């Protein structure tokens, strides 16, 4: 019998004594803020991450963000001037990419080894990414065969934080007759993933353009030389493919 619970819990870790700049132990929360700032900064057009953008990304009140920005600034993880928005420092960026590396390695593990589907892994990886053990990351990476892309096609940063880059365009840009191999999604929405899964479309799937429909800008396509189907404009726009 489902009762209505309001659940609040803080997942605090302790600060070990003797932590210095380079082995600073951050709280899960601080780590999540850094990831959010990184994500916002990556979004095209964003010079700096604003308080409101972070507030939206983190689902917290703007006032809470301001609080945290002061703290992250004190720790030299961000460059912060009141009212100006923030950027990550070198150190902050390094923390953020290390988190993303862990997140995506764990996602790869969950799909490759534990046979989860790509729409089931994100929330688990959100937890696993906070496990702090450099040796674990190294061994996990080796165990997985040093993968370069996660199950959503997102690049996995290497030990130094460098992301592999890849040429990919929206499926919408291909002309009839052209073929694209699905390499990523523009946004990793669960609904989109479930929809694609239902239609046997996943990373690596070969998609051939049959026709562009002017009226609603949708596509007719052929999937892996098997079924033909229509793809709405909204779906096609979100599919990133490599040609040839």
Partner DNA sequence: ATTTATTTTTAGATTAATCTAAAAATATAT
Partner DNA sequence: ATATATTTTTAGATTAATCTAAAAATAAAT
Residues that bind Mn ion (CB under 5 A): 107, 122, 150, 152, 154
Using the 8-state DSSP alphabet, how is residue 58 labeled? H
Q: Is 228:221 a contact under the CB 8 Å cutoff?
A: yes
Question: Considering the complex, what minimum distance in angstroms separates the CB of residue 75 from DNA?
Answer: 10
Among the listed residues 1, 3, 6, 9, the single contact to DNA using CB under 7 A: 9
CA atoms of 209 and 113, how far apart (whole Å) = 33
- Nearest-5° angle of CA 62, CA 129, CA 149? 110
Question: Considering the complex, what minimum distance in angstroms separates the CB of residue 219 from its own copies?
Answer: 35
Strand order in the sheet with 218-223: 169-170, 239-243, 179-185, 206-213, 218-223, 228-231
CB nearer to Mn ion: give 147 or 230: 147
Q: Site size for its own copies, by CB under 8 A?
A: 46
CB nearer to DNA: give 27 or 170: 27
CA atoms of 43 and 190, how far apart (whole Å) = 20
CB nearer to DNA: give 42 or 67: 67
Among the listed residues 34, 36, 40, 68, the single contact to DNA using CB under 7 A: 68
Q: Write the CB contacts of 151 (distance below 8 Å, at least 6 apart in sequence).
A: 107, 108, 110, 111, 112, 118, 121, 203
CB nearer to its own copies: give 28 or 237: 28
10 touches DNA (CB under 7 A):
yes
Record the tokens describing residue 20, joined without a space.
């210095």
Interacting residue ranges for its own copies, rule: CB under 8 A: 1-15, 18-21, 25-30, 32, 110, 113-116, 120, 123-124, 126-128, 130-133, 135-136, 139-140, 143
Interacting residue ranges for DNA, rule: CB under 7 A: 8-10, 12, 14, 27-30, 50-53, 55, 59-71, 80, 82-85
């Amino acid at each position: 019998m489902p009762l209505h619970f309001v659940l609040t819990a803080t997942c605090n870790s302790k600060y070990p004594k003797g932590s210095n700049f380079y082995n600073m132990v951050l709280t899960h929360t601080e780590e999540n803020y850094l990831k959010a700032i990184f994500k916002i900064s990556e979004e095209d057009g964003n010079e700096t991450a604003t308080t409101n953008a972070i507030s939206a990304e983190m689902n917290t009140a703007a006032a809470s963000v301001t609080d945290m920005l002061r703290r992250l600034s004190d720790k030299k993880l961000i460059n912060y001037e009141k009212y100006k928005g923030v950027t990550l420092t070198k150190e902050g960026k390094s923390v953020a990419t290390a988190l993303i590396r862990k997140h995506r390695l764990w996602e790869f593990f969950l799909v490759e080894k534990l046979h989860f589907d790509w729409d089931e892994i994100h929330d688990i990886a959100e937890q696993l990414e906070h496990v702090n053990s450099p040796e674990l990351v190294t061994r996990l990476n080796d165990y997985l065969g040093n993968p370069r892309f996660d199950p959503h096609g997102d690049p996995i940063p290497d030990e130094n934080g460098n992301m592999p880059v890849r040429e990919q365009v929206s499926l919408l840009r291909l002309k009839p007759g052209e073929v694209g191999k699905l390499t990523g999604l523009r946004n990793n929405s669960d609904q989109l993933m479930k929809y694609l899964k239902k239609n046997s479309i996943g990373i690596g799937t070969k998609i051939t353009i049959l026709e562009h429909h002017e009226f609603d800008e949708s596509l007719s396509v052929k999937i892996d030389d098997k079924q033909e189907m229509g793809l709405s404009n909204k779906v096609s726009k979100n599919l990133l493919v490599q040609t040839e």
